[in-house]
């Protein structure tokens, strides 16, 4: 199943009440079954690109990246905590704050993975708000739904959460559906960044913001780039190897270097129709957050 294929599957917390203003899904089609596949080869035949086979080639990279995230789902959270020394929680809270999610609002987390940012959005919108998490990897969504089912009830957090399998480049939501949106480590992995930004602009309400967190593609002669390169090669990939995921995490470095710089992300967001776009380097330039605002 390619990334451009539109599929929808919902795992619900508390279902929205009829007429409650929840974002409406476009007519879904039956979701295809995701087939298990053997681990990807670290190097595609005839190329020197590490990571999953086909992850950097037009026509195959969407499906290759979808398979990657389905494969790493069982240890995704554990590895994130280990490899970032827990700092990813801070970066994700920054993204939620800069997205402007507020009590009673309807928020969207694109490429939601196992739900980390979506759960933070649920705290931000409170018991009267709604949160939708969208991802193309069903295994990640299943993990997010399991995590939600284990959360203790609290009036400080919305339990009105939906987990939707779908395409970030053609999301199954009506125009102007969301008061705020986030995306964590997803924009770098879509096969068409301009299309994704354009669809994000479409589903946001006028004047709404979105915050997009990802690795920062720092200048090649910078200290941040050197540190990032060393850490990925000497810490991240060896640690992933302990989980049998060396090939999958070897994908990170080339994916970062193929990712637009902060300034280029700003330009792409403005071209997609946003009224404002600002990229902030954080964590000594290792990470970045792009904050975009839709025209009022």
Cβ 185 vs Cβ 114: under 8 Å: no
Give the predicted TM-score (pTM) of the model: 0.76
146 vs 67, more confident: 146
Residue 226 lies inside a defined structural domain of this protein: yes
Q: What is the domain extent for residue 82? A: 59-294
Distance in angstroms (rounded) separating the CA atoms of residues 215 and 171 = 23
Q: Which of 90, 102, 177, 182 is nearest to 134 (CA)?
A: 182
Residue 13 lies inside a defined structural domain of this protein: no
Residue 144 lies inside a defined structural domain of this protein: yes
User: Within 13 A of 172's CA, how many CA atoms are on the CB side?
Assistant: 24
Query: How far, CA to CA in Å, does 159 sit from each of 109, 142, 203?
Result: 15, 16, 22
Distance in angstroms (rounded) separating the CA atoms of residues 35 and 44 = 21
The percentage of residues in the chain with a pLDDT greater than 70, rounded to a whole number, is: 73
Residue 10 lies inside a defined structural domain of this protein: no
Residue 74 lies inside a defined structural domain of this protein: yes
| Confidence class for position 65, pLDDT limits 50, 70, 90 | low
Residue 4 lies inside a defined structural domain of this protein: no
Per the structure, the count of domains in the chain is 1
pLDDT, tens digit, 9 for 90 and up, residues 179-205: 999 999 999 989 999 999 999 999 999
Q: Which of 274, 193, 175 is nearest to 183 (CA)?
A: 193
Residue 38 lies inside a defined structural domain of this protein: no
178 Cβ contact partners less than 8 Å away, ≥ 6 residues apart: 23, 106, 107, 108, 132, 203, 204, 205, 208
pLDDT, tens digit, 9 for 90 and up, residues 279-288: 999 999 999 9
Q: Among 4-8, 73-77, 154-158, 167-171, which range has the highest average pLDDT? A: 167-171
Indicate which CATH number applies to the domain containing 287. 3.40.50.150
Distance in angstroms (rounded) separating the CA atoms of residues 156 and 149 = 16
* Residue 119 scores a pLDDT above 80: yes
Distance in angstroms (rounded) separating the CA atoms of residues 128 and 17 = 12
| Confidence class for position 81, pLDDT limits 50, 70, 90 | confident
Distance in angstroms (rounded) separating the CA atoms of residues 175 and 192 = 20
Rounded mean pLDDT, 207-233: 94
Mean pLDDT of the chain: 80
Residue 8 lies inside a defined structural domain of this protein: no
């Amino acid at each position: 199943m390619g990334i451009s294929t539109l599929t929808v599957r919902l795992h619900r917390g508390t279902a929205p009440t009829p007429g409650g203003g929840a974002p409406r899904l476009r007519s879904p089609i039956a979701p295809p079954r995701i087939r298990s596949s053997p681990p990807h080869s670290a190097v595609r035949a005839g190329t020197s690109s590490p990571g999953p086979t086909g992850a950097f080639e037009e026509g195959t990279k969407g499906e290759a990246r979808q398979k990657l995230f389905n494969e790493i789902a069982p240890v995704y959270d554990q590895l994130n905590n280990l490899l970032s020394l827990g700092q990813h929680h801070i970066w994700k809270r920054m993204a939620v704050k800069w997205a402007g999610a507020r009590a009673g609002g309807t928020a969207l987390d694109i490429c939601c993975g196992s739900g980390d940012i979506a759960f933070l959005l649920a705290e931000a919108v409170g018991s009267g708000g709604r949160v939708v998490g969208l991802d193309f990897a069903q295994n990640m969504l299943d993990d997010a739904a399991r995590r939600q089912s284990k959360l203790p009830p609290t009036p400080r957090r919305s339990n009105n959460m939906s987990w939707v399998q779908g395409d970030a480049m053609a999301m199954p939501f009506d125009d102007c559906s969301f008061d705020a949106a986030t995306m964590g480590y997803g924009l770098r992995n879509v096969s068409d960044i301009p299309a994704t930004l354009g669809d994000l602009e479409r589903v946001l309400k006028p004047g709404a913001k979105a915050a997009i967190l990802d690795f920062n593609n720092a200048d090649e002669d910078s200290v941040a780039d050197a540190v990032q390169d060393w850490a990925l090669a000497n810490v991240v990939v060896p640690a992933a190897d302990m989980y049998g995921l060396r090939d999958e995490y070897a994908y990170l470095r080339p994916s970062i270097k193929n990712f637009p710089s902060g300034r280029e992300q700003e330009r792409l967001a403005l071209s997609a129709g946003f009224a404002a776009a600002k990229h902030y380097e954080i964590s000594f330039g290792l990470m970045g957050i792009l904050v975009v605002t839709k025209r009022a």
